Chains A and B, each alone.
Chain A
Amino acid sequence: MTTPETSFVYVTYIRSTPEKVFAAITTPEMTRQYWGHDNLSEDWQSGSDWSHVRTNAERSVNLVGKVLESDMPSRLVLSWANASQADDAAAYSRVTFEVEPYDDMVKLTVTHEGLQPGSGMDTGIRRGWPLVLSSLKSFLETDAGMNVFARPKVA
Chain B
Amino acid sequence: MEDDKVFKALADPTRRRMLDQLCARNGQTLGQLCDGLDMTRQSATQHLGLLEAANLVSTRRRGRERLHFINPVPLHDVYERWVRKFETGRLSLLHDLKANLEGDQT
Give A residues with C-beta under 8 Å from B. Answer: 4-5, 7-13, 109, 111, 129-131, 133-134, 137-138, 146, 150, 152-155
Partner of A134 from the list B62, B69, B77 (CB cut-off 8 Å) is: B77
Contact A130 B75 (CB under 8 A): yes
Q: If A4-B27, A154-B91, A155-B91 touch, does A9 touch B73 (CB 8 Å cutoff)? A: no
Main secondary structure of the interface of A (DSSP, over half): mixed
Name 10 A/B residue pairs within 8 A (Cβ), A-sorted: A5-B26, A5-B27, A8-B69, A9-B59, A10-B72, A13-B55, A133-B76, A134-B76, A137-B77, A138-B80
Contact A134 B80 (CB under 8 A): yes
Distance in angstroms from B68 CB to nearest chain A CB is: 9
Contact B72 A4 (CB under 8 A): no
- Residue of A at shortest CB range from B75? A130
Contact A10 B25 (CB under 8 A): no
Partner of A155 from the list B58, B71, B74, B94 (CB cut-off 8 Å) is: B94
Contact B73 A130 (CB under 8 A): yes
Number of A-B contacts (CB under 8 A): 63
B95 interface residue, CB < 8 Å from A?
yes
Contact A7 B27 (CB under 8 A): yes
Contact B87 A130 (CB under 8 A): no
Distance in angstroms from B70 CB to nearest chain A CB is: 8
| A4 CA to B55 CA, complexed, in Å | 19
Residues of B within 8 A of A134 (CB): 73, 76-77, 80
Contact B88 A153 (CB under 8 A): yes
Q: If A11-B55, A111-B60, A155-B91 touch, does A4 touch B26 (CB 8 Å cutoff)? A: yes
Residues of A within 8 A of B60 (CB): 9, 111
Contact A7 B73 (CB under 8 A): no
- Residue of A at shortest CB range from B77? A134
B78-106 residues at the A interface, CB under 8 angstroms: 80, 84, 87-88, 91-92, 94-95, 98
| A155 CA to B96 CA, complexed, in Å | 8
| A155 CA to B77 CA, complexed, in Å | 25
| A7 CA to B22 CA, complexed, in Å | 12
Distance in angstroms from A73 CB to nearest chain B CB is: 20
Residues of B within 8 A of A111 (CB): 60
Residues of A within 8 A of B62 (CB): 4
Partner of A153 from the list B26, B69, B74, B91 (CB cut-off 8 Å) is: B91
Distance in angstroms from A5 CB to nearest chain B CB is: 6
B67 interface residue, CB < 8 Å from A?
yes
